[in-house]
Chains A and B, each alone.
Chain A
Amino acid sequence: MEFASAILLQVLELVLALLVAPLLTGWVNQCRAWLQNRSAPSLWLPYRQLAKLFEKEVVLAHNASGLFRAAPYFIFACMVLASAIVPTLSTDLPFGPAADVIALVGIFALARIFIALAGMDVGTSFGTLGARREMLIGFLAEPALLMVFFTASLISHSTSLSTIVETFAHREFAIHPSLAFAGVAFTMVSLAENARVPIDNPTTHLELTMIHEAMILEYSGRHLALIEWAATLKMYVYSCLGLALFFPWGIPQGALLSNLLIALPSLAVKLGVGGFLLAVIETASAKMRIFRAPEFLGTAFMMAVLGMLVHLLLETGK
C-alpha cells in the first residue's frame, strides 16, 4: 500500500511538472510585464504556443543529420527525468535512488551537450556560436552547481536529494551560514542556466547577444515545441531544487496521499513567490556583455566554494 501510494505520488509529481512548467514561465512573463508597466500577456500563452508549434510542420535544413532530429526528444527526456528526481510533493520517491545530486548535474550536462551538438549540426555560424557560448556558460555553471550540492551534502552527510531535503526540513532546526553562500551561488547559476537576464535574454533575437536562442534557431514545429517545453521544465526543476534545498518546509516526508493537502498549496505559494522574485531580478538588472559572463559565473563558483569552506570552518565543530 505504501509502495503503491509512493508510485502514485511519483506519477503525480511527474504529471504536475509537465503541466505546471509552462504555467510557471507564463507567470514569470506576466510578473515581468507588470513590473515593466506593460500590459501582461495571458497566463496561458506558453500552452498556446506549444499547441501551435506541435501543429506546425517541421522544416529541416538540407544537411540536418539524425542527431538533429533525435536531440529534442533526448533533451525533453533528460528534463523529465530530472523532474522525477527532485522532491516536490514527497521525499519518498521510487525514482529517488536512481540518481543523486551528482547524477542530477550529469543529467543537466547531458541535455546541454545534446543541445549544443544539435546547434552545431546544421553548420550555420549562429548555431555554432550559440553552442560555444552555451558550453562556456555550462563549464562554469556546472562545477558551481556541484559545489552548492556538495555544501548541502556535507551538512546532511548524503548526496541523495531525498535525504538532504529530509535533513533540512524535518530534523532539528539549525542555522547554516554556509547555506547563505550556497543560496546566492545557486541563484546566480540558475539565472545563467535558464538563460535569464544578466546572462541571456529569453525574449531577444538580437544576433550579437543571444545564446540559447542562437542554438535552436534552426528548429521548428514539434522539435521546437519539445525544446521549449524542456526549457520550461528546466526552469521548473531549478525552482523546485532551490525550494527543496533552501526552503524545504512543506515537503512531506512519508508517501501519504493526505499529505498532498499541505504539499500542493505550499508548493504553489512558494513557486508563485519565487517566480515573482525572478521577475524582479530580471527587471532590476541589465544584460551583461558575453565576456562578463565568466566573471559572473566565476563569482558564483567562488561563492559556492566559500560556502563549503564556511561549513568546514564554522559548522563542523572541530
Chain B
Amino acid sequence: MPLPIPELFSIDWPLSLVVVWLLIGGAGLLAPRNLAFVGKTLYPLGALVGLALAVVAFEALGEAPQTRVLVLGLPDLPFHLRLDSLSALFLLLLGGTSAGISIYAAGYLRSGEGTAPGLQCLEYHLFLASMALVLLADDAYAFMVAWESMAFSSFFLVTSDHRKPEIRRAGYLYLLIAHVGAIGILLSFGVLQSGGALSASNGVADYTFAHMRATDHDAFWASAAFGLAVFGFGAKAGLLPLHVWLPEAHPAAPSPVSAMMSGVMLKTAIYGILRVSFDLLHHPLWWWGVLVLALGLITALFGAVFSAVQSDMKRLLAYSSIENIGLLFVGIGLALTFRSFDMNTLAALALTAVLYHGLNHAAFKSLLFLCTGSVLHATRERSLGKLGGLIHHMPWVAWLALLGVLASAGLPPLNGFVSEWLLLQAFLFTPGLPHGYINMLIPVAAAAVALTAAIAGYAMVKFFGIVFLGQPREEKLTLAHDAGILERVGMSWLGILCILLGLFPVFVIDKLDAVTRPLLGAGLGEAVRAQGWLLLAPINADRASYEPLVFLLMIVAVVALTFLIVRRFWHGRVRRGAPWDCGFPLQTARMQDTAEGFGQPLRQVFEPFYRLTRELPTSFDKLPRYRMVVEDHFWYWLYLPVAHVADFGSRMVAFLQQGRISIYLLFSFVTLVVLLFLVRG
C-alpha cells in the first residue's frame, strides 16, 4: 500500500519539518567538534527545511484551519495543535527568514568560539523548532512549553561565548525578563480559561484555545486578560519599560542568533498579542487600542532616539528593533481601536500594515545583523569608533548593508516604505472615529510616527556611514576580507526579500487578506486586486496610490539616460587626487567624525531622554581623555529600585537560613503544630 502523502497545505508538513529540525539539532551532538560536518552539512540542511516550511506555510495561507492532538503532554492535557492563516503567516516568516540565516550561519561558524559547534547546532535548531511550535500551539499548556523552550534555547545561544562576564550578565537579564513576561502570559491564559471564575465551574479544564474562544468574558476580565497579555508579550517584544534586555542580549549573541532573535523571535510576541486580542477575545474595548497605541508610540520614539546615539553597531540595531516593535504596536493599537468601533475595513488596513511591517522587519533587520556579523569577523571590532572605510574591502557586505539600511530607513521603493505608508494611511482615517477626543488626538500621533521614521533614517545613515564609508579609523581595517560565499548567499537571500516585498505590495497584501479576513471579517484583497498588480491603492485610487515598480523604473531610467547623455555630450575624464585638506596637511583618519560626534546633534535635541555622563579633559591633563556614557533612565527609575527591594526581601528571608540542622527541625516542628491547629479548626 503506498504511503498517503498529505496535501501541501496540511498541518502534517510543518509538524514533520519541526521534527526534522529537531533531528538535525540532535545530529549535531554526534560530532560536536567537527566543524565541517556541523557547518557544511547540518546548517545547510536546516536552511532547506526552513525553505520547505516557508513553502508549506505559504500554501496553508487562506486554507481552513486544521487541528491535531498529539499524544505528548500530561495525561489529561495532550498537546493541541492548530494551523490557521495567522499561524501560517508567521510560519512563513520563520521559514523564509531562517533559510537565509541558517545558510549564513553555515559559513559564519568558526572553531574555538565558546560553545562547541555541535551543541550550538542543537540549541539553534531547538530554538527554531520551539518557535514553530509556539506558532502552532492550540492550548495554553503546549504554548507555554514551547514558549519556555524558546526562551531557554535562545538563552543558551545568547551565552554561547560564556567565558565573558558581560555576556553572562546579558544572558541573565534576558532570562529574568523573559520569565517575568512568561508569568504575565500564564496569568492571561488563566483568566481567559476561567473567564474570571476562581474555580473551573464549567467543569472543563483543558486550557485549549478553542475553549477560550468559546468562553464569554465580561469587560473587566477581558481587560485583565488583555492587560496581562500586553505585559507578558510586551516583555518578549521589548515594549517599554521592559525593553532593557534587548540592547544587552542582541550584542552579546553571535550575529546569526541576533538576527534570529530580532527578526523572528520578537515577532512571536507580536503573534501572541494578535492571537489573544483578535482571536481569543471577541470584541476589544476602545481604550485597549489607545493604550497599546500610546505604549507603541513611546517605545518607537524611545528606540529611535536611543539608536541614533549608540556607538556599538549591534546595540544601534537593537535599539532600532525596539523602534520597529513600537511601530508594530502602534499599528496593533490602531487596528484595535477601529475594531472596537466596528470599522472592520479600516481595522484590516491597520492590521495589514502590522503584518506587512513584521515581514519587512524580519527581512531587513536580519540582513543588517548578518552584515554586522561579517564585519565583526573581518575586523574583530564592534565599536563604531574603530571601524570605517570597509566599502573598499568588503564590497558585498557594504552594498547589501546599504540595501538593508535604505529599507530600514523606510525609503521608497524598498519594503520598509510600503508598511509605513500603509500605517500612515490608516492614521489618515482616524478622524472618522465616532469618539469625541480620540478622533482628534490620534491623527496627531501620526506626527510622532513621522518623527520616529525620520530619526530612524538618521540612525541608519550613521550606521552605514561610519562603518562602511570614510577612511579606515584603524590600521588593521585594511586587512579586512569580504564575507565568504555561504554568508553572501544568506545575506543576498534576505536582500532579495527586501526588494521583492517592496516592489510587489499588491501580491503581498492579497495574501495578507487571508489572515485579516478570519480575524476581522474584512480584508484589502479585493480592493488591491481590482487595481491590477502594478498599482497599490488599498482603499481607492483617488484616495491614495503608490506604484513602486514605476517608481524604481523611473529612477533607473533617469539615471541611465543622464549617464548616457553626460557621456555623449561631454566626456568621462576622471583624475584621482588627494582630498582637499583645507590648507592643513597633517590630517589623519582619526580626525574624522566619530560615532559620538555624529550622534551629538541628537543628544542635544533630545537631552532629557538620556542619562548622560560626560568626562571632559581639562587643559592640565597629561593624557587627555574624553568619555561619554549614554544610559537609560529606566535603569535608575525602575529597575534598580525594584532590584533593591528584591535584594532587601531576599536578605530578610535569608535570616531564616541559619545553616544549623536543629533550627530547620524547629521550623518543621512549628509548621506541623500550626497545620495541626488549623486542620483541627
Contacts and interface: CB of A to CB of B under 8 A. Distances in A.
B547 interface: yes
A77 B557 CA distance: 8
A39 B250 CA distance: 62
B542 A158 contact: yes
Contact of A58 (B428, B466, B573): B573
B431 A76 contact: no
A63 B447 contact: no
Given A100-B545, A110-B411, A131 B461 contact: yes
Given A128-B598, A163-B542, A113 B454 contact: no
Interface string A249-263: 000000000000000
Interface in B542-571: 542-547, 550-551, 554-556, 558-559, 562-563, 566, 569-571
Contacts of A221: 573
Contacts of A163: 542-543
Contacts of A62: 576-579
Interface stretch (A116-124, A169-177, A190-198, A266-274): A116-124
Interface residues on A, range: 35 or more
B402 A308 contact: no
23 contacts: A54-B570, A63-B392, A67-B402, A73-B559, A74-B559, A77-B554, A95-B550, A99-B546, A99-B551, A109-B457, A110-B406, A113-B461, A116-B461, A123-B388, A126-B582, A128-B465, A132-B598, A135-B461, A136-B458, A136-B602, A139-B454, A308-B447, A312-B443
Contacts of B577: 59-62
Interface of B: 388-389, 391-392, 402, 406, 409-412, 417, 421, 424-425, 427-428, 431, 436, 439-440, 443-444, 446-447, 450-451, 453-455, 457-458, 460-462, 464-466, 469-471, 535, 537, 541-547, 550-551, 554-556, 558-559, 562-563, 566, 569-571, 573-582, 587, 589, 591-593, 597-598, 600-602, 604-605
Interface string A76-93: 111011001000000000
Interface stretch (A29-37, A149-157, A234-242): A149-157
A123 B589 contact: yes
Contact of B411 (A54, A97, A109, A146): A109
Contact of B469 (A121, A226, A304): A121
Contacts of A77: 554-556, 558-559, 562
Interface string A289-318: 001001000000100110011001100101
B668 to A, nearest CB: 65
A57 B577 CA distance: 12
B189 to A, nearest CB: 40
A117 B402 CA distance: 10
B570 A160 contact: no
A73 B412 contact: no
Contact of B574 (A58, A102, A138): A58
A212 interface: no
A160 B542 contact: yes
Contacts of B602: 136
A2 B446 CA distance: 38
A139 B543 contact: no
A102 B558 CA distance: 21
A125 interface: yes
Given A98-B550, A123-B389, A129-B593, A157 B543 contact: yes
B470 A123 contact: yes
A281 interface: no
A124 B582 CA distance: 10
B469 A65 contact: yes
A123 B592 contact: yes
A218 B470 CA distance: 12
Interface in A46-66: 54-55, 57-63, 65-66
Contacts of A313: 440
B576 A154 contact: no
Given A109-B409, A132-B593, A143-B454, A63 B471 contact: yes
By DSSP majority rule, is chain A's interface helix, strand, loop, or mixed? helix
A113 B469 contact: no
A60 B576 contact: yes
Contacts of B457: 109, 112-113, 135, 138-139, 142
Nearest to A222: B566
Interface of A: 54-55, 57-63, 65-67, 70, 73-74, 76-78, 80-81, 84, 95, 97-100, 102-103, 106-107, 109-110, 112-113, 116-117, 120-126, 128-129, 131-133, 135-136, 138-140, 142-143, 146-147, 150, 153-154, 157-160, 163, 207, 217-218, 221-222, 226, 291, 294, 301, 304-305, 308-309, 312-313, 316, 318
Contacts of A63: 389, 392, 471
A156 to B, nearest CB: 10
A78 B409 contact: no
Given A107-B412, A123-B388, A135-B457, A76 B562 contact: yes
A99 B547 contact: yes
A128 B592 contact: yes
Contact of A139 (B391, B411, B458, B580): B458
Contacts of A142: 450, 453-454, 457
Given A77-B555, A142-B454, A226 B562 contact: yes
Contact of A98 (B458, B546, B563): B546
A179 B280 CA distance: 45
Contacts of B391: 65-67, 121
Contacts of A106: 410-412, 417
B551 A218 contact: no
A138 B458 contact: yes
A122 B579 contact: yes
Contact of B571 (A57, A100, A139, A150): A57
A80 B443 CA distance: 31
A107 B600 CA distance: 26
Contact of A100 (B440, B443, B544): B544
Contacts of A305: 444, 447
Contacts of A158: 542-544
A59 to B, nearest CB: 5
Contacts of A129: 593
